[in-house]
Structure 1
Amino acid sequence: MVLLLGRVVIEGAAGRIDSNRQSAAVELVSYLALNPGADHHAIDNALRPGRLDSKQMRNAGISRTRSWLGKDADGEAFFLRIQDTGYSR
């Protein structure tokens, strides 16, 4: 659950994440909660405007966030994979 009013909180994250990476993960989850279906172009533009990070750097952050959120009772990741459109920087 993403609580967006007041201090932003992600409830129910089952995994672990380094404290220095958590704020970026919270930003990503919050953005996606407000913008369902956003692709990697939109994520890049919203979270890192004007920066030309590599596809690998973005994907590493997404992977860390996916691990932190964990899986549901059926074993499905709470944070599903974004379809690869072949775009890279």
Structure 2
Amino acid sequence: MTFNELIAHVSGKTGMAKEGVKMILETSIATLTEKAIAGEDATLPGFGQFKVKDVPARQGRNPSTGATMDIPASRKVAFTPAKALKDALKA
């Protein structure tokens, strides 16, 4: 599903104008991004949880040369689906 398809689907289900739905979705994504940058987790009940995780620096290998290389520490966002979402997928 593309972003535009999501906008059209939500607009059709709610009767809201597509412009309003687009603004709500963009604001929601921007808010989740701000929280992730701040290192905060975000939970969407019934859907899942977005957690910010720190990945420590480590040694790796260059796949083409086999040479050892340093991989710097980084942060990533991990998604854990809610039980309701998992159960819906099993049905």
Higher-strand-fraction structure: 2
Question: TM-score, normalization: structure 2?
Answer: 0.30
Question: TM-score, normalization: structure 1?
Answer: 0.31
Larger radius of gyration: 2
Structure number with greater CO (CA < 8 Å, separation at least 6) is 1
